[in-house]
Chains A and B, each alone.
Chain A
Amino acid sequence: MNKIYFDHNATTPVIDEVFEAMVPFYKEQWGNPSSIHWAGRGTRKAVEDARENVCKLLNCAPLELIFTSSGTESDNHAIKGIAYAKKDKGNHIITTKVEHPAILSTCKHLAKEGFEITYLEVDKDGLIDLEQLKAAITPKTILITVMFANNETGVLFPIKEIGQIAKERGITFHTDAVQAAGKIPINVQELNVDLLTISGHKIYGPKGVGALFAKRGVRLTPLIHGGHQERNRRGGTENVAGIIGFGKAAEIAIRDLDKEIAHLSMLRNRLETGLKEKIQHVYVNGHPEKRLPNTANISFEFVEGESLLLNLDMKGIAASSGSACTSGSLEPSHVLVAMGISLELAHGSVRFSLGKSNTVEEIDYLIEIMPPIVERMRSMSPLFAGHKF
Chain B
Amino acid sequence: MSSKRVVVAMSGGVDSSTALAILKEQGFDCIGVSMQLWDYSKREDDKGATAGSCCSLDDIYDARSVADKLGIPFYVVNVEEVFSKEVVDYFVQSYLSGATPNPCIKCNQVLKFEVLLKKAIGLEADYLATGHYARIEPAPFGYKLLKGKDTGKDQSYFLFTMTQEQLSKVLFPVGNLTKPQVRAYAKTIGLRTSEKKESQEICFVEEPSYTDFLSSRVSSQDGDIVDIYGKILGKHKGLFNYTIGQRKGLNLSGGPFYVLDLDMERNRLLVGPLERLYSGGLTANEVNWINPEAKEKAASGILTATVKIRYRHEGALAEIKITNEGSIKLEFKERQKAVTPGQAVVFYDGDEVLGGGWIEEALK
Contacts and interface: CB of A to CB of B under 8 A. Distances in A.
B122 A328 contact: no
Contacts of B122: 304, 307, 310-311, 376-377, 380
Nearest to A307: B122
Most chain A CB inside 10 Å of its own CB: which residue of B36, B46, B75:
B75
B80 interface: yes
A314 B72 CA distance: 12
Most chain B CB inside 10 Å of its own CB: which residue of A112, A307, A380:
A307
Contacts of A112: 46
A342 to B, nearest CB: 15
Contact of B77 (A306, A311, A329, A380): A306
B153 interface: no
Interface SS of chain A: helix
B29 to A, nearest CB: 10
A176 B235 CA distance: 59
A61 B277 CA distance: 83
B119 A329 contact: no
A380 B75 CA distance: 20
Given A112-B46, A310-B123, A311-B123, A330 B118 contact: no
Contacts of A376: 122, 124
A311 B124 CA distance: 9
A314 B123 contact: yes
A257 B73 CA distance: 36
A311 B125 CA distance: 11
Contacts of A306: 77-78
Interface string B117-137: 011011110000000000000
B41 A329 contact: yes
Interface in A198-255: none
Contacts, number: 41
Interface in B26-83: 31, 36, 39, 41, 46, 73, 75-81
Interface SS of chain B: mixed
Interface in A267-306: 304, 306
B78 A310 contact: no
Nearest to B118: A380
Contact of A328 (B46, B78, B79, B121): B78
Given A328-B36, A329-B39, A329-B41, A307 B119 contact: yes
A331 B124 CA distance: 25
Contacts of A314: 31, 73, 123
Contacts of B119: 307, 310
Most chain A CB inside 10 Å of its own CB: which residue of B46, B76, B77, B122:
B122
Contacts of B75: 310, 313
Interface in A40-95: none
B67 to A, nearest CB: 14
Interface string A364-389: 00000000000011001000000000
A268 B36 CA distance: 33
Contacts of B77: 306, 310
A197 B153 CA distance: 55
A150 B118 CA distance: 33
Most chain A CB inside 10 Å of its own CB: which residue of B31, B46, B119:
B119
Given A307-B119, A380-B118, A380-B122, A330 B73 contact: no
- Which 7 A-B residue pairs are closest in the complex by CB-CB distance? A330-B78, A307-B122, A330-B80, A310-B75, A330-B81, A310-B123, A329-B39
